[in-house]
Amino acid sequence: MKLDVQTLAGKKSGSVDLADAVFGNEPRKDILHRMVRYQLAKRQAGTHKVQERGEVSKTTKRIGKQKGGGTARHGNGSVSQFRGGAKAHGPRVRSHAFDLPKKVRAMALRHALSAKVVSKELIIIDDAALKSPKTAELRTQLEKLGVTNGLVVGGSTIDENFAKAARNIPNIDVLPSQGANVYDILKRHTLVLTKQAVEDLEARLT
């Protein structure tokens, strides 16, 4: 599969052959859904916590008489039905992460890249580099490419000037090739890959 390569200025700069094994799959929504759930579960902090019976400092003296009070026979004030009492079966600190096979994770990334090709939301540029970290200049160049909400994936390292200029533009994310992931690809409307990013992703996924 051939795709045109453009410069940041929006001019044509040759073409590139995309590997069908990486960019030519029929996207499966179930695989993408599993991967997004896996990523979001791993990101969840899991630090929610409430006090349980053993952690509440309340009187252990019997509340009222055992008989004749006309109310229930309560032993102490730490139970959940009293104000300031413990929570029964409340949330505890834990990890929300679950396992997903490595082959499924790799397949999901291939399907996410293929989904951008199918929906014609993939742009290939020769390089993501700027001479100076000018946000206005980069915004103008991205608008020429038709990118207002997108993810730019560079090579193994990101040009410092490009990263500085891009971080002030809303809805534009920048990642190195090893950081490319399903959630960030699907979150943005347009995926912009450099030629080096294409080579790195093909080497990683084939």
Asked if 39 and 108 count as a contact pair (C-beta separation under 8 A), the reply is no
For residue 122, CA distances in Å to 23, 75, 91 come to 10, 67, 42
Question: Which residues constitute the domain of residue 59?
Answer: 50-90
pLDDT at 198: 96
Order of strands across the sheet that contains 2-6:
12-17, 2-6, 122-125, 190-194, 150-153, 172-175
Q: How many separate domains does the chain show?
A: 2
Which band of pLDDT confidence, cut at 50, 70 and 90, is reported for residue 38? very high
Q: What angle do CA 191, 192, 195 make, to 5 degrees?
A: 135
Q: How far is CA 140 from the centre of its chain?
A: 27
Torsion angle of the four alpha carbons 105, 204, 193, 36, in this order, in degrees rounded to the nearest 10: 10
Q: In the Cβ-directed half-sphere of 144, how many Cα atoms lie within 13 Å?
A: 14
**Residue 17 belongs to domain with CATH number:** 3.40.1370.10
pTM of the full predicted structure? 0.85
Asked if 182 and 161 count as a contact pair (C-beta separation under 8 A), the reply is no
Q: Please tell me whether residues 141 and 114 are part of one structural domain.
A: yes
What are the pLDDT digits (tens) for 135-190?
Answer: 999 999 999 999 999 999 999 999 999 999 999 999 999 999 999 999 999 999 99
Per-chain mean pLDDT for the chain: 93
Which band of pLDDT confidence, cut at 50, 70 and 90, is reported for residue 70? confident
Q: Please tell me whether residues 103 and 168 are part of one structural domain.
A: yes
Asked if 50 and 87 count as a contact pair (C-beta separation under 8 A), the reply is yes
Cα separation, 198 vs 155, whole angstroms: 9
More confident residue, 63 or 8: 8
Q: Please tell me whether residues 35 and 70 are part of one structural domain.
A: no
Kindly tell me if the per-residue pLDDT of 23 is higher than 90.
yes
Best CA proximity match to 35, nearest among 186, 205, 151, 172: 186
Q: Please tell me whether residues 7 and 40 are part of one structural domain.
A: yes
Q: Please tell me whether residues 117 and 31 are part of one structural domain.
A: yes
Q: Please tell me whether residues 85 and 109 are part of one structural domain.
A: no
Q: What residues contact residue 124 under an 8 Å CB cut-off, 6+ apart?
A: 3, 4, 5, 6, 16, 192, 193, 194, 195, 198
Cα separation, 53 vs 188, whole angstroms: 46
Q: Please tell me whether residues 109 and 185 are part of one structural domain.
A: yes
Of 64, 90, 116, the residue that ends a domain is 90
Q: Please tell me whether residues 144 and 64 are part of one structural domain.
A: no
Q: Please tell me whether residues 40 and 115 are part of one structural domain.
A: yes
Q: Please tell me whether residues 157 and 113 are part of one structural domain.
A: yes
Q: Please tell me whether residues 10 and 35 are part of one structural domain.
A: yes
Kindly tell me if the per-residue pLDDT of 81 is higher than 90.
no
Q: Please tell me whether residues 28 and 122 are part of one structural domain.
A: yes
pLDDT at 137: 94
